Structure 1
Amino acid sequence: MRSDLHQPAAHRDFLHCLDRNHIRLDVQHDADEVFLSVLNLIQQQMDHRDLALEVQNLYKISLETQLRCLECSSVQTRSTFLLSLPLHIKEDHNSLEACMASFFEHQELRGTNSCFCPQCGTRKPSRQGVKLLSLPRILCVQLKRFRNMQGSTRKLDCRVTFPENLDFLEILREAFSRNFSQEECKYSLYAVVVHCGCATFGHYTAYVRHRVNRRWYYADDSHVEQTSWQDVQTAYGGRYRGTAYMLMYRRDSKEMDQQPGLSG
């Protein structure tokens, strides 16, 4: 159970900083868009360019897109990166692991979706796949709950389960590129951004896990209180409940595992 004692946390300076950088406080925002905007502002305003790049690299997911022509079998590849992983969810029960596997599934592109093949010299049916080149120290995941349908946006409150600990070697080994050389692929959940409300109106709260004492805390505006993993799981989704919208996982490190009091 949560404690009844609410502890205020300073937040107004941060909000005023957002407002001065044209992220207005009196309008509805998308949490993922604000997150990416803050990263972009850090890059623009930091004088130390190497340090700004290091901040970006904390979240950088490096990908390799492969496009194979279904007629001549030629392959085009290009490297790209994301700062958050956008995962589509079904209007039913979902799991984070299944959503990730779906993101890396091959897709056939035909008809109007056909791509230009340099070998054939014209647009041809093709198969597109995405492979992982590297994973970041902090993996940010966006659950795409907002869907545009017939000109209007609605929110999907369906259930999406997510684990407290994630091992990419177990769930996504086939999504690794041959150039993937990372050894540490285990992650621990440390933050969940929750959205309450509908597509046009709502409120964001967050669950955050303390890195030292490993306890979970619930933040609602300036109020912070201790909570539990069982309470975090209520954000899986369901009607009339707040639903997880963004997940942040931190890559496990041997240094952290070896510190006293951090096991388990």
Structure 2
Amino acid sequence: MGQNSGHQERGKKPELALSETMEAEAEVQSNKDEAKELKAKERRLTSVFGVADLKNGAIGLYNLGQSCCLNSLLQVFLMNIHFTGILRRITVPPCAAQRRSNVPYQMLLLLEEMQRGKRKAVRPTELACCLSAHRVELFVQHDAAQLFLRLWNLIKKQMKKLELVEELSDLYTICVQEHLACQNCSFEIKNNSCMLTLPLPVLDSNSHRLKTLEDCLQYFFHPEELTGQNMCFCQQCGMKTPFLKSMKLVYLPQTLTIHLKRFCFEKSSYTHKLSHYLPFPRDLDFNGVLTENQCHADDNEKATWQYDLFAVVAHSGSASCGHYCAYIQSLTERKWYCFNDSQVCQVSWDDVKCTYGHSNLHWGETAYLLIYMKKHPQQPYPGLSECLGKL
């Protein structure tokens, strides 16, 4: 018994060694194959210029579970050739686990898939899984303005090249100067800060409806008196005094995102949607909207404050239950398209104007995010990098 057992053990050793060698060779080959595949992907990705070229037509995105908000924002990002120009120059993460959790890389793969095939729509499954790992869940009613900020911050955080981070910030970041002045003395505080969207109220302080986008902009930059319970402590007076709070525009980016605050929060914690009529222009010139006292920029900077409307993220339904779609103008074709999840069709400017809203259609479609593109770009504001840490 012992001898037979010993022969059997001796016979197994060469087989075991051979098996280990084969496994090692297989692993080496697998690593080589993975490296080749990664290089091939890198070569393909460097040739991606953006869905806005529309080489294969406008491509939709399937709804994966209340993902209409995510789909609309992805289309706005990927139809922007300035954004995709940055995206296609990212550093590809070295290992599979990092690639699965990297939002910019997964967006780039989705962009490639949208351009490669002839399908009318693709499934953003891998990107959705990646975002879920970063607590951007499916089957949740997202707010488009909040989700835009989360996506942008994830993209910026996971970009490894400093120059790309700076380009991304220059592309989207707004710079304003906040000003507080004591009404009893000459004490004042000035502070530059940055934001990714202009959050414009659609009602004034008396709950009266603002009639146009230009009215909303003027109201946002209009000085506010801080009195009563809102008084501030003045270091020079040594007590709380009335202050005048104002905001001045310093720098506007290539891609300007305006958030129309159509969801109203009441004291009862009930949220309702403001669906009233609010027109917005195709061409927006801030020099014709804001006064000199509402701007803090030189003439060269203000000369670039002329914009064309690029996209509208529209919401239909109520504050608690609704649906998003995106109207986007191709930067190459100059044609408008409606991206409604997997359904994409060409539309007219009159169709886009239907998102102005209507007082009697509370469940109707209304513009929620407006994205404007600068007509005449200029060099970024030199002090912008100092403000970015405050985002």
What TM-score does the superposition give when structure 2 sets the normalisation length? 0.61
Indicate conservation of the 8 Å contact 1:69/1:75, yes or no: yes
Q: Secondary structure at the match of 2:370?
A: strand
Letter in 1 for 2:282: E
Identical aligned pairs, as a percentage? 38
Indicate how the Cα distance of structure 1 residues 80 and 179 shifts in structure 2: closer, same or farther if over 3 A, else same.
farther
Quote the Cα distance in structure 1 between the aligned partners of 2:242 and 2:210: 32
Q: How does 1:130-141 map to 2 (within 5 A)?
A: 130-141=247-258
Q: Secondary structure at the match of 2:122?
A: coil
Whichever structure has more helix as a proportion of its residues is 2
Per-residue deviation at 1:160? 1.1
Whichever structure has more strand as a proportion of its residues is 1
- Matched with 2:243 is 126
Indicate conservation of the 8 Å contact 1:92/1:159, yes or no: no
Quote the Cα distance in structure 2 between the aligned partners of 1:9 and 1:35: 22
Does the alignment pair 1:202 with 2:314? no
Quote the Cα distance in structure 2 between the aligned partners of 1:222 and 1:178: 43
Quote the Cα distance in structure 2 between the aligned partners of 1:185 and 1:94: 22
Q: How does 1:100-115 map to 2 (within 5 A)?
A: 100-115=217-232
Q: In terms of Rg, which structure is larger?
A: 2
Does the alignment pair 1:12 with 2:136? no
Alpha-carbon RMSD: 1.9
Q: Secondary structure at the match of 1:161?
A: coil
Indicate how the Cα distance of structure 1 residues 180 and 109 shifts in structure 2: closer, same or farther if over 3 A, else same.
farther
- Higher RCO (CA-CA < 8 Å; seq separation 6+): 1
Letter in 1 for 2:156: Q
Quote the Cα distance in structure 1 between the aligned partners of 2:370 and 2:215: 15
Letter in 2 for 1:137: Q
Q: Secondary structure at the match of 1:55?
A: helix
Does the alignment pair 1:87 with 2:200? yes
Q: How does 1:1-264 map to 2 (within 5 A)?
A: 8-13=120-125, 14-90=127-203, 92=209, 94-149=211-266, 150-174=268-292, 175-177=294-296, 181-182=300-301, 183-238=303-358, 239=361, 240-253=363-376
Mark the runs of 5 or more structure 2 residues left unpaired by the alignment.
1-59, 61-118, 379-391
- Residues 173-196 of structure 1: CA deviation (Å, up to 9, x unaligned): 432115575031110001000001
Per-residue deviation at 1:112? 1.3
Per-residue deviation at 1:93? 5.7
Indicate conservation of the 8 Å contact 1:159/1:236, yes or no: yes
Quote the Cα distance in structure 1 between the aligned partners of 2:191 and 2:129: 40
Per-residue deviation at 1:94? 2.1
What TM-score does the superposition give when structure 1 sets the normalisation length? 0.89
Q: Which aligned segments of 4 or more residues in structure 1 are displaced greater than 6 angstroms? A: none
Indicate conservation of the 8 Å contact 2:254/2:377, yes or no: no
Mark the runs of 5 or more structure 1 residues left unpaired by the alignment.
1-5, 256-264
